Structure 1
């Protein structure tokens, strides 16, 4: 075992250019190098790939990586080849001659890592090929895809348990960043990993600042965020619908921001072009549905913004985890409003699944809503969802930076619930939130007059609150189960627990809406009351280092363009920042920089020294 440990450490330094393993990596690597099966639950950006790449380089044979990310395999292989690793892939995008070349290299023992799409394992020729070669290990990436109701469900993943039956002496390691106890159990069962060793890493991403704001004018709020904190930064903006993706991308472009749309309605060529630009160019903002992002290895994504409420905490965690993979300060920003709640409740009701499935979706949504409405540390709530406990608040989320206040909303709740009750009992009518707010505020709109609702006893009884506050009351009553959404028009109805509030038997505490006068709050709670927005991408560079860093980025962009690979394949921002902060004068000094392995030192070392000298 001692030899395997030292071998792994040498590979880490020689190939990847790192002096030490991250928390948890060494134990996993030692176990797999020794031939053990493993299930690895580790956050995005936590270094999962090294947990199978290093064992594949240490053990005899080729590491076979099963990955659903066909569109990204070329980039993954390019990144490994840039490190001097012999890597290849087999998937449906290749021509016959390309596949034959990769197959020949595998059989000749000339590949360290071979990436396969899961559907390739249904092809007899692929199984026969693997039988004829020497396999170091099987790595099942994005293992949460075996979960039947996962948003990226791939039926081919269900066949992967057969790998261990056919090659019982080859270690299998399954890896995922989606890790609720239920998902963990399902992966274990479906992949037959009951006897494997399970490694659950700390899911905290301390470099990400989590912020959730009340949705008012989402486009303007997003633009303010980008202009104040993320000028020229790469980022992802998630929207629920294709039309929203298109509109937001057009809006950002019209306001001088390099933005591209990505959704399933675009043709495959356009999606591929947009993905390639996002990966290869600096400062691109991708506006996308959740069809985009899984497996994106771009380390310098400085922000992930959601303009619609995610359907689950798992989805939210995985999507926000695409920010700051390089460990540098990054932002996870979500604008959330009443209509999000109404829309998602309607989608659940209309779901094609059975009752059990709809209940599961409701449970996921309830957990997401609880995270949005919490007055406690968001990171504490997020980690608790994954079964991990924090003792102290994180100090790097909006509720820590600007603690929200609660208020006794019982009377407001009684007024709103009473309005719903009177409409149902006296008029046998049901309406949505907007009309109910108009009634409470005493507005004589055309609809109010048409239905004679200005004669209701509750007409005008709610003028102590403004419209944003009333919409917040509706939203929080929905979250607490004191109101429900019904029908395709999103009308509001009472629930079994509403009567307790109306009779004064239940107190309703609510999170206070932010003050509308705080203009800067449009970019997030952290922007007001002393928590200033910051330029996260270069926050730690000195004034002298800044132009050096930019010079290095310019060199890197040219080198990446010449080779046709993403810029981060050459070097990560974190490596360039360290070079800029303590410029080396010799190749020996450059070799001590984190992320500069032997292959990259030989290939790019003199170019970097020349760039620094210029």
Structure 2
């Protein structure tokens, strides 16, 4: 049993939570999970990002004799978790490729001597004969398998080594296992249980809802400018901007930096040292915006990311959920913003068709992409649609306004009878040969006198100029939604030309009505949305100077120890200190996030800062 556990109270989970981590109470099903695992039973835990998954194995690790082995897929995740545990006085370490031989040997000696409460390790190292032999000689408390969705071969983060983790159950059947993930639809949940031999484990499924995140999707129209407007509305806040390609990452980061935003790039093609330095800067500095491909993010524990922006369509709704889940891990208001256009859909469908995947995999990826497009185009509450993809029926907050925190709830879109417009568009696609993209079709409909139109003789078509009643922005919306609704298809194997589908026939014959989402007026909604979303975390003006002084103290302490600032104290903890202005260790220790270890290490410095501010 850990030396941090209250003497003689091995089952006192709440006592460990309060004393070690400084949290007053468990959230949701945390208490039930902790009791179950601490009693020696297996568990499969599905809990949203920011829901407190780590407590579900860290507290049992301190209640049980021996060391908890935590299987983690990313070096950055291990380092962050261990830094945070050490700050709380927990005996934690990791073994990965960043350690020199001497340090790794020291950690191994501590493992065998029973001097560790938690040891983080990558699956590749765990599966080596040498490490398995070490575990045979170590006192084991439990196995925690984090990011368990990596076991799914159909998922976006598949790690082959995760399939081999069944050896834990086969070799040490008496040691309890807990597998955890924040991203798993019902089929993936079943696959995790099967692949990890956790069919008999108790399953804990929390709501996947992240009520503090505001979801917004806008039609792509000068995406760089739209992104800049959004980011400027969050100036000074940490954020992540996702792009599909490395080239676009570089261009977007350079553009934002040129506009005065503290933006840095991150992608797998960068120099490894620069990439690592950029990640450290994002994690350890305030207000940095990282522009990245999806190679960035899994396991990132930075709690104060105030926004995640997508300037390109993600590949699946699971990927979108996981990426947006990196915002607002501290539970405070955050934004998930996406800029979506038909070109994104065309490109992703081409990528699927041109990949070397088998037909079954391609069909699955098309279905996943279609689900995400359905989310983008929906007129319903986005939260309802998003959670439905994870098998969750979101009841909402009331009639007509189910969540009250997405763009569709805050500014309900209007529908319009687009049957005539659809007939014009479909007819134009057919008469021009079903091989041209959206831009050219719009030029025909709007009667453009371009050289390309004349070159193909499209100024002679009966549909030439029949769409001058609608502007190009609305036609973009019409064509995009016709594709989303299956009334147009994209030639993904060719050059992305539009072509009719079987469903087009009924529309052209006037046998089927087409109702589409009406594009909202071109206006900047991000500023009003942000001011509303951020209202809950505003401090009284009188408390703001103390909050800034506490952040400065935290920054200095973090630099001295070479750790991210948030592993010392979260912003939420500093805000509460600024509001309550404690004058004693007892008062400071009653604030959430101030455990015994941190109180001992930082209490005097924090109280001195509070005193100086009064």
- Using the size of structure 2 for normalisation, the TM-score is 0.96
Contact 1:328 1:537 in 2 (8 A): no
**Displacement after TM superposition at 1:141 (Å):** 0.4
1:13 corresponds to: 18
- How many Å separate the matches in 1 of 2:45 and 2:173? 19
Task: Tell me what 2:261 maps to.
Answer: 257
1:267-308 deviation line (CA, Å, top 9, x unaligned): 221111111111110011010000000000000000000000
Distance 1:559 1:288, change over 3 A: same
Distance in 2, Cα, partners of 1:349 & 1:510 = 28
Distance 2:533 2:521 in 1: 25
The Cα of 1:5 is off from its aligned counterpart by: 8.0
Q: Does 1:123 align with 2:128?
A: yes
- Give 3-state SS (helix, strand or coil) of 2:44's partner: strand
Q: 1:58 to 1:539 in 2, by over 3 A?
A: closer
Deviation (angstroms), 1:548: 1.1
Question: Residue 70 of structure 2 corresponds to which residue in structure 1?
Answer: 65
**SS at 1:49's partner residue?**
helix
Q: Equivalent residue for 1:379?
A: 383
Q: Distance in 2 between matches of 1:30 and 1:50?
A: 12
Contact 1:546–1:580 at 8 Å: present in 2 too? yes
2:225 is equivalent to residue 220 of structure 1: yes
Matched, 1:154 2:159: yes
| 8 Å contact kept, 1:500–1:506 | yes
* Correspondence for 1:590: 588
Kindly report which structure 2 residues correspond to 1:320-339, keeping only aligned pairs within 5 A, or say none: 320-339=324-343
1:26-84 CA distances to partner (integer Å, 9 max, x unpaired)? 01110000111000000000000000000001000000001111233222211110100
Q: Is the 8 A contact 1:212 1:398 kept in 2?
A: yes
Of the three residues 27, 37, 48, the one matched with 2:32 is 27
Task: Indicate if the aligned counterparts of 1:302 and 1:537 stay in contact, CA closer than 8 A.
Answer: no
Give the structure 2 partner of residue 495 of structure 1: 501
Distance in 1 of aligned mates of 2:412 and 2:11: 48
Pairing 1:510–2:519 present: no
Which among 573, 577, 582 is matched to residue 571 of structure 2? 573
Mapping 1:39-188, distance limit 5 Å: 39-188=44-193
Partner of 2:278: 274
CA distance in 2, matches of 1:502, 1:160: 55
Match of 2:252 in 1: 248
Distance 1:198 1:32 in 2: 12
2:428 maps to what in 1? 419
Q: Secondary structure at the match of 2:375?
A: helix
Aligned residue number for residue 346 of structure 1: 350
Give, in whole Å, the separation in 2 of the partners of 1:493 and 1:573: 52
Contact 1:4 1:30 in 2 (8 A): no
CA deviation vs aligned residue, 1:337-359 (integer Å, no higher than 9, x gap): 11111111111111211111111
Tell me if structure 2 keeps the 8 A contact 1:210–1:398.
yes
User: Partners of 1:535 and 1:492 in 2: how far apart?
Assistant: 39
1:405 to 2:405 alignment? no
Q: Is the 8 A contact 2:333 2:533 kept in 1?
A: no
d(CA) in 2 for partners of 1:294, 1:555: 29
CA distance in 1 between counterparts of 2:231 and 2:487 reads 37
**Do 1:483 and 1:498's aligned partners in 2 also have CA atoms closer than 8 Å?**
yes
SS in 1 for 2:315: coil
- CA-CA distance at 1:539 after TM superposition: 3.6
1:291 and 2:295 correspond: yes
Q: Residue 4 of structure 1: CA displacement? A: 6.8
Alpha-carbon shift at residue 535 of structure 1 (Å): 7.0
Specify the alignment match of 1:603 in structure 2.
Answer: 601
- Residue pair 2:214, 2:533 contacting (<8 A) in 1 also: no
Q: Which runs of 5+ in 1 are unaligned?
A: none
Q: How far apart, CA to CA, are the structure 2 residues paired with 1:38 and 1:456?
A: 65
Residue 326 of structure 1 and its aligned partner are, at CA, apart by 0.5
* Paired residues of 2:142 and 2:175 also in contact (CA < 8 A): yes
**1:226: how far off?**
1.8
Distance 1:63 1:39 in 2: 16
Assess if the C-alpha contact under 8 Å between 1:5 and 1:30 holds in 2: no
User: For the residues of structure 2 that align with 1:75 and 1:356, how far apart are their CA atoms?
Assistant: 38
Distance, in Å, in 2 between the alignment partners of 1:311 and 1:200 is: 25
| CA distance, structure 1, for counterparts of residue 445 and residue 604 of structure 2 | 72
The separation in 2 between residues aligned to 1:539 and 1:29, in whole angstroms, is 30
SS at match of 1:407: strand
User: Distance in 1 between the 2:600 and 2:537 partners?
Assistant: 30
Alpha-carbon offset, residue 533 of structure 1: 3.5
Counterpart of 1:564?
562
**Would the alpha carbon gap of residues 423 and 535 (structure 1) be closer, same or farther in structure 2, given more than 3 Å must change?**
closer
Counterpart of 2:319 in structure 1 is: 315
Q: Please give the per-residue CA displacement for 1:92-139, whole angstroms capped at 9, x wherever unaligned.
A: 222211111001101111000001110112311100100001100000
Matched-pair contact (CA < 8 Å) for 1:37–1:173 = yes
Deviation at 1:237, TM superposition (A): 0.4
Out of 232, 236, 241, the residue aligned to residue 236 of structure 2 is: 232
**CA distance in structure 2 between the partners assigned to 1:134 and 1:572 by the alignment:** 33
CA distance in structure 2 between the partners assigned to 1:71 and 1:321 by the alignment: 17
Q: Which runs of 5+ in 2 are unaligned?
A: 1-7, 397-401
Within 2, Cα distance between the matches of 1:19 and 1:570? 18
Q: Offset of 1:186 from its aligned partner?
A: 0.9
Aligned length: 599
Q: CA deviation at 1:402?
A: 0.3
